[in-house]
Amino acid sequence: MMSISENYKKITDVIPAHLKIVAIGKTKTSEDILSLYECGHRVFGETRVQELLPKYEKLPEDIKWQMVGHLQRNKVKYIAPFVDMIQSVDSLKLLNVINKEGLKNNRLINCLFQMHIAEEETKFGMTKDEIFEILESDDFRQMKNISVKGVMGMATFTDNEKQIRKEFKTLKTIFDQVKEKYFRSDDGFSEISMGMSSDYEIAIEEGATMVRIGTALFGERQY
């Protein structure tokens, strides 16, 4: 088995340097995360608040923590003081709470809109219409403590490469449409977070700016 630092080297050797890698440490220990931190990596993601909090407390302060899993509104308050980005914004209600908690903490919280691109019903995320609806709402216009940086999506869990590629293309197209219509003069709206261990190469070909990699860095997860 390769070590975490060997995995990291292998991946950073092939991924273009401008791409951001979010290392997904869910189910992995703080020690695992620290081994990657010691390679110089700083951006880490988690899917559950109850797993993120103890890691945040234990690990170095300069880690940029990203929330990438479905987030319940009543849990936003725990991560709002420190989270670098919430990639899993999937409703206006959630966005309202993030804004409110951002205000309380006197912070601007970076967000991505999670889009539902997979065939599986079980995956979270919004439709294009829902995203447009949020952006046109009065609520949204009044939010001062969030900064929308782009979109995030997860492809169907399949080995059908064509299917995966089609879903990534959809996400890229929606990103372009949202950018054109609402963020044309906002350079900050620039991120397309797509691609995981099994499909990040396809995602990069289809325009990802950010990939979220767990297994290929830390090894298989044991549940």
Ligand X SMILES: *Cc1c(COP(=O)(O)O)cnc(C)c1O
- Cα–Cα separations (whole angstroms), residue 16 to 11, 49, 193, 222: 10, 31, 15, 30
CB of 45 to ligand X, least distance (A): 7
At its nearest, how many Å lie between ligand X and the CB of residue 154? Answer: 6
Measured from the CB atom, the residue of 37 and 218 that comes closer to ligand X is 218
Q: Find, among 98, 103, 89, 34, the residue nearest to 63 by Cα.
A: 34
List the one residue out of 183, 173, 123, 180 whose CA is nearest residue 148. Answer: 183
Q: In terms of CB distance, is 32 or 182 closer to ligand X?
A: 32
CB of 168 to ligand X, least distance (A): 14
* Coarse DSSP helix, strand, coil percentages of the chain, rounded to the nearest 5 percent: 40, 20, 40
Sign of CA dihedral 97, 21, 123, 203: positive
Compute the distance between CA of residue 200 and CA of residue 196 in angstroms, rounded to an integer: 5
Instruction: Provide the 3-class DSSP secondary structure of residue 218.
Output: helix
Question: Is the CB of 27 or the CB of 137 nearer to ligand X?
Answer: 27
Provide, rounded to whole angstroms, the least separation between the CB of residue 29 and ligand X: 15
Q: Which of 36/143 has CB closer to ligand X? A: 36
- State the nearest-atom distance from the C-beta of 212 to ligand X, in Å: 4
Of the candidates 69, 72, 74, which has an alpha carbon nearest to the alpha carbon of residue 88? 69
Q: Which stretches of the chain bind ligand X, using CB under 6 A?
A: 24, 26, 47, 68-69, 154, 196-198, 212-216
Beta carbon nearer to ligand X, 119 or 136: 119
Residue in the shown chain whose Cβ atom is closest to ligand X = 214
